[in-house]
Amino acid sequence: MSPSTTPPAAAAPASAAAPAANADANGASGPHPALPPEALDLAAKLFDLARAGDASLLPYVDAGIPANLTNSAGDTLLMLAAYHGHVELVRGLLARGADPDAVNGKGQAPIAGAVFKGHEGVVRALFDAGADVTAGHPNARDCAVMFRREDYVQLFASRS
């Protein structure tokens, strides 16, 4: 079964997932419980939707997929949408509780990635949502200075 673009209407929240096959009677499992191939396929699809800026991702979040779902590199859906310049999806994820300050496995925050890529609308959406311009390394403030983005330097200074 391959995942469809529209989530099932009665999708259970991720926290309500069935225990892993190697779970004990209390639901505790080993350090890396196996996920069914369908779950892995769905996760890959969701991250692809974030990269592509596809708003069909949002109904999945509405149905219970965590807004801060993270891939193996530590990238959240928001990080991928921000890095690829998808301002409307960024706003949609933020409205659904995505953490604007979640850093990935490399210590990068979404707003710093948006500064690096020069995605002005995304930078502004994250900033307006309260993103910490000093989160991560390099942080958004340092990126703005490094890439001589005086507009971002002034914007970030306005919150100081």
- Residue 104 within any structural domain of the chain: yes
Predicted local confidence at residue 32, as pLDDT: 53
102 within domain boundaries:
yes
Tally of structural domains, the chain? 1
Question: Half-sphere exposure of 150 toward its Cβ, with a 13 Å CA cutoff?
Answer: 0
Q: Give the pTM.
A: 0.79
Is 23 a domain residue? no
Classify residue 134 as exposed, middle or buried by CB count within 10 Å of its CB (0-12, 13-18, 19+).
Answer: middle
User: Tell me, what CATH number does 59's domain have?
Assistant: 1.25.40.20
141: Cβ–Cβ under 8 A, 6 or more apart, which residues? 133, 134, 153, 156
- The closest of 41, 40, 42, 35 to 18, measured between CA atoms, is 35
Each residue of 97-107: pLDDT tens digit? 999 999 999 99
pLDDT at 31: 52
pLDDT of residue 34: 84
Residue 18 lies in a domain: no
Domain annotation covers residue 29: no
Q: Which domain holds residue 143?
A: 34-157
Which residues on adjacent β-strands are paired with residue 76? 70
Residue 88 lies in a domain: yes
pLDDT per residue rounded down to tens, the chain (160 residues): 444 444 444 343 343 333 334 344 444 444 557 889 999 999 999 999 999 999 999 999 999 999 999 999 999 999 999 999 999 999 999 999 999 999 999 999 999 999 999 999 999 999 999 999 999 999 999 999 999 999 999 999 998 6
